[in-house]
Amino acid sequence: MVLTERWSARDEDGWFVRQVAGALACAGDVHVVTTEGAVPRRHTDSVFTVHELARPAGAGERLRNGLLVEAFAAQGQGVPGSIATSLAARASSHWDGADRAVAAIAPDLVVVAGPGGAAGLQVVGGAAGDAPVTLVPLLHDGAPVDPGRYGAGPVLDRVASVVTATPGERDTARLLPIDQGTCIDVGVPLRADPNARREPNTYIGSDDYVLVLAGVTSDAADLRADLARLVRLAFPGRPVGIVATNAFEVWHHGRSTVGWAIERSGDLLRLMAWAAVVVDLRPGPLVARRAIESLLHGTPVVVPEQSAARQHAAAGGGLWFATPQELLSCLDALEDPGVRAALGDQGNEAATRHYGSPEAFVERVLGAVGWGT
């Protein structure tokens, strides 16, 4: 059984939780209990049985809670007791009725996804019986580690294993008051798409371009947008493709061509696979999936120093920057074809070994929860 606030989320957190649940489904029936939904109901979602409690937390509430945790962490402390109690009470209220659903399921294993799932486990309590608990903490790069967000003793004392998506998240999870040996990095199930290298994207017209993943609109007043423009201006002779959220803009010899936004994942994979370099200015906070996918296709990456993607670059697949000047220095170094080839090969080998086998991912997940053979 999986306890998660946001089962249908399409961000990296939601995607990773579904991958873990999918791996468990290879060995048994998986029930998902979530606070989502418009009305309480039970329904089937692919191979999963989903129990919706219809008591979701709003985006504003999640943002407020995160800002509070970050504010106190910046002062070197956890959330004070009175505020933590108030936040916990509010979080628990979203799980009203979960105990009845869990009692009917009678799970052999409870997977707790993120702080929201931990609040659910506190409400469920004895309804889960003596089932072992696996924590999927969903710790973002650079985010503060506050045991109180995971229910502290009442939840963490029950945790038999902790499943993380990357080595960086595993190391961060070990800051929680749990047995460090229970923290297991299972990776993520990705592999290179053989179709991505069959035909280049003729819109950009070359296979020696720099691809910038801006993560903002093309006209945003934002540092990431400024950095994307900086890359374009610094390399006037090399094609630069800028993937904004609202458009795909190609610059070459000072001239711009603006096309539709890149919406299909296959189109983005093709652009990354044929690029000379991928600059991801806004990597995913949990996995930095686009950096991994670039490396699986042999394309080196340049990423922010303070991001989950740095660990993938540091494994041999690219470079990282902390300032605009460092970004330009990284790209200047990657103008050398030999450097690009070396980083591309190293990154591909590391990404393939750790992330490139869905079958190995399933085995790691089942082993982590004690279901391995």
Q: Check whether residue 91 and residue 125 sit in a common domain.
A: yes
In a domain, 203, yes or no: no
Per-residue pLDDT band at 86 (split at 50, 70, 90): low
Q: Check whether residue 362 and residue 310 sit in a common domain.
A: no
What does the pLDDT look like over 216-256, one tens digit per residue? 888 887 878 888 888 888 887 789 999 999 999 998 887 88
Q: Check whether residue 144 and residue 50 sit in a common domain.
A: yes
Record the tokens describing residue 20, joined without a space: 């873990």
CATH number at residue 329: 3.40.50.2000
Q: Check whether residue 174 and residue 308 sit in a common domain.
A: no
pTM for the structure as a whole: 0.90
Record the tokens describing residue 283, joined without a space: 């990597």
In a domain, 199, yes or no: no
Range of the domain at 288: 210-355
In a domain, 282, yes or no: yes
Q: What's the pLDDT score for residue 85?
A: 60
Helices (H), 5-58: 12-25
With the C-alpha atoms ordered 268, 269, 272, 275, is the resulting torsion angle positive or negative?
Answer: negative
373 or 23, greater pLDDT: 23
Query: From the CB of residue 299, how many other CB atoms can be counted at a distance below 10 Å?
Result: 25
Q: What's the pLDDT score for residue 235?
A: 80
Query: From the CB of residue 224, how many other CB atoms can be counted at a distance below 10 Å?
Result: 18
Burial of 108 per CB tally in 10 Å (0-12, 13-18, 19+): middle
In a domain, 198, yes or no: no
In a domain, 195, yes or no: no
Q: Check whether residue 166 and residue 245 sit in a common domain.
A: no
Record the tokens describing residue 122, joined without a space: 């506190």
* Beta strands per DSSP E along 182-286: 183-185, 210-213, 240-243, 248-252, 255-259, 277-280
| Domain count for the chain | 2
Residue type (1 letter), 225: A
In a domain, 194, yes or no: no
Record the tokens describing residue 254, joined without a space: 């000072």
Q: Check whether residue 120 and residue 174 sit in a common domain.
A: yes
Residue 134: name the closest of 287, 37, 43, 30 by CA: 30
Range with the poorest average pLDDT among 72-86, 104-118, 125-139, 218-232: 72-86
- Mean pLDDT, range 29-37, rounded to an integer: 96
